Amino acid sequence: MDKKVLIADQINEKGIDELKDIAEVVPNFTISNEELLKVIKDFDAIIVRSRTKVTREVIEASDKLKIIARAGVGVDNVDVQAATERGIMVINAPESTSITVAEHTMGLILALSRKIAIADSSVKSGKWEKGRFMGIELNGKTLGVIGMGRIGSQVVTRSKAFGMDTIVYDPYITKKTASELGVTVVDLETLIKESDVMTIHVPLTPETKYLISKPQFEMMKENAFIVNCARGGIINEDDLYDALSTDEIRGAGLDVFENEPPKNSKLLELDNVVLTPHIAASTSEAQRDAAIIVANEIKKVFKGISPKNVINMPVLDPETFNLIKPYFALIEKIGKFMIQTAKGNINEIDVTYCGELSEFPKHDILTRMILQEVLNPILNEPVNLVNATTVAENRGIIVTEGKRYDAKGYKSLIKVEMKSDYNDVSVEGIFTHQQPRIVMINGYKVDVEPEGTMLISKYKDKPGIIGSIGTKIGEHNINIAKMQVGRKELGGEAVMVLKVDQIVPEFVILEIKKLEDVHDAVAVNL
């Protein structure tokens, strides 16, 4: 066997067995970093959990290393950047913990509904307080699931076994996925108001930070429970404490905290909380599955088949890289623009490469880059050039790529069209004078440098509307730096792009939308 795999942290035996027919497997679960530096040059792959640190130094000391595999989800102990620079794949097993976390979620829900944790400490303290621990049944109750990814979907399946009615809030899932899982998709406010139990399964992003705070607790049913096995910081813990201590809600189950461990948290004083130390993913089955998944991924690579869970990007050959590099900045801006203007689940993304660019090789890299920009802000798993197409496919997004010789008078042009449940967005961009520019938005001709904060409004083309939008912005002390207007016909619908010096808050957008003859407004930050 010419391939050698180093197993640097203890993983499940089944993962090791998977590899034995294809490679020489060297388990060394206590290897030190100094030893690793000496031996790494002999290995084609290394498997770690969280003990071993695969640093830049280790990566640079390697010679034929092709894969760094993390038998688990997070890759904090691997220098992914250094690996990418050396063309070494970093793979993980993101799906290995989904069932485990879903089961823990159900565990917290049951612990809350039947007061198991507090009843347990009461019995252990010698008491027999049968009357104190009256619980509630889950049967017939409404479960609200925020985030319907890998873990959220597993929770939904399990909640059905408990006879719960399930509603879901996830603006990014397709109708097809929702109907396959047989769930009702609602908006966040409806979910909050109607849930007897609310459970969170979204990544922590700027959009989900403090997603559940005072106003949301005020909307919740008095008897509702909330559970968070996702990430600390999605729930505002001070507001949660207030809601729990004033009986605004019935209870909370938390596996994750803003600061871990939550040493001085006031939540520790309360009876109506059940807390676990970030162990939702800790089961032997999850560890076994992680080991088997990464072993199979390594086998695929050794056999020349593309693995599924690569989290870094491949190195392009220099010639292709130089040809397409100028378009990276344009693609990044178009992707960011699209995801900030799309409403609801994305169903379709069509990319057309026009002019000279249509003759270049490796368009798929640019398309993947758009998918990366569009999907990364909404998913927990890192989306990169290697897995972007698979992730889009798994989410039911239809991606098409086209080529057109005509580039409307430009040397090259990229057109991206995105269809979501509630709107279609189309953007055309060029790269000129070393700068990306957006030249068309939804069929309206513009010439915009995609940089900074913009307010995009659609309105009826008639005197006074531009002024009323400008006045509204001025009222809130927001300075306009530049203005661009596009229209198809006199008196029809027009689009205005205002470059502004400050972020336009959501309440100002709402006020603009209410102005007469304004059809839509959205703020975009590029």
Helices marked H in 303-383? 318-324, 326-341, 363-375
Q: Give the residue with the Cβ less far from ligand NAD, 393 or 451.
A: 393
Is 99 near ligand NAD (CB under 6 A)? Answer: no
Binder to ligand NAD among 31, 48, 71, 148 (CB under 6 A)? 148
Among candidates 294, 323, 291, which has minimal Cα distance to 311?
A: 294
**Candidate list 231, 363, 368, 437, residue with the active-site label:** 231
- Alpha-carbon distances, residue 271 vs 81, 117, 246 (angstroms): 45, 9, 12
**Dihedral angle sign, alpha carbons of residues 398, 401, 407, 411:** positive
Between 85 and 103, CB nearer to ligand NAD: 103
Annotation says 132 is catalytic = no
Give residues with Cβ within 8 angstroms of 363, minimum separation 6: 351, 353, 357, 401, 403
In the complex, what is the shortest distance from the CB of residue 377 to ligand NAD, in angstroms, rounded to a whole number?
8
Measured in whole angstroms, how far is the alpha carbon of residue 344 from the centre of its chain? 15
**Token pair recorded at residue 319:** 């010639």
Instruction: Give least dist CB 184 to ligand NAD, A.
Output: 15
According to the 3-state scheme, what is the secondary structure of 376-399? Answer: HHHCCCCCCCCCHHHHHHHCCCEE
Please identify, using beta-carbon distances, which residue of 142 and 412 lies nearer to ligand NAD. 142
Q: Write down the catalytic residue from 24, 95, 248, 278.
A: 278
Query: CA–CA separation, 427 vs 377, rounded Å?
Result: 19
Q: Is 378 in the site for ligand NAD (CB under 6 A)?
A: yes
Q: Could you confirm whether 260 is annotated as catalytic? A: yes
Binding mask 434-473 for ligand NAD (x = CB under 6 A): ----------------------------------------
> Would you tell me how many other CB atoms lie within 10 Å of the CB of residue 448?
23
Indicate the residue among 90 and 185 with the shorter CB distance to ligand NAD. Answer: 185
Taking the complex as a whole, the smallest distance from the CB of residue 109 to ligand NAD amounts, in Å, to 14
The rounded distance, in Å, linking the Cα atoms of 349 and 449 is: 23
Pairwise CA distance, residues 185 & 227, whole Å: 19
Q: Which of 260, 285, 393, 451 is catalytic?
A: 260
Query: Which residues, 6 or more positions from 499, have their beta carbon under 8 angstroms from its beta carbon?
Result: 448, 449, 452, 453, 454, 480, 481, 482, 483
Instruction: Tell me the residue type at 117.
Output: A
> Nearest residue to ligand NAD, using CB?
149
Q: 35 an active-site residue?
A: no
List the one residue from 169, 257, 337, 444 that touches ligand NAD (CB under 6 A).
Answer: 169
Q: How far apart are CA 389 and CA 393, in angstroms?
A: 6
Please report whether residue 173 would count as binding ligand NAD according to CB under 6 A: yes
What string of DSSP letters covers 462-523? STTHHHHHHHHHHHTTPPEEEEEEEESSTTSEEEEEEEESS---HHHHHHHHHSTTEEEEEE
Quick check: 308 binds ligand NAD (CB under 6 A)? no
Tokens of 37: 């530096």
Specify the stretch interacting with ligand NAD by CB under 6 A; choose among 170-178, 355-363, 468-476, 485-493.
Answer: 170-178
- When binding is defined by CB under 6 A, the residue of 115, 150, 363, 499 that contacts ligand NAD is 150
Q: Which residue in the set 83, 243, 256, 512 belongs to the binding site for ligand NAD (CB under 6 A)?
A: 256
When asked if residue 155 is in the footprint of ligand NAD (CB under 6 A), the reply is: no
Site membership for ligand NAD, residue 280 (CB under 6 A): yes
262 binds ligand NAD (CB under 6 A): no
Minimum Å gap between C-beta 64 and ligand NAD is: 33
Binds ligand NAD (CB under 6 A): choice among 16, 23, 46, 101: 101
Phi first, then psi, for residue 231 (nearest 5°) are -145, 145
200-229 footprint of ligand NAD as x/- string (CB under 6 A) = -xxxx--xx--------------------x
With both helix axes pointing from N to C terminus, report the angle between 326-341 and 363-375 in degrees, rounded to the nearest 10: 40
Per-residue contact string for residues 59-98; x = within reach of ligand NAD by CB under 6 A:
--------------x-----------------------xx
Do 280 and 229 meet the contact criterion of CB atoms below 8 Å apart? yes
Start-end of H helices in 62-203: 80-85, 98-113, 116-124, 150-161, 175-181, 188-194
Task: Identify residues 316-375 at the interface with ligand NAD (CB under 6 A).
Answer: none
Min dist CB 233 to ligand NAD, Å, is: 10
Distance of closest approach, residue 282 Cβ to ligand NAD, in angstroms: 7
- Closest distance to ligand NAD from the beta carbon of 271 (Å): 23
Residues that bind ligand NAD (CB under 6 A): 73, 97-98, 101, 146-152, 169-173, 201-204, 207-208, 229-231, 255-256, 278, 280-281, 378-381
Residues belonging to the active site = 231, 260, 278
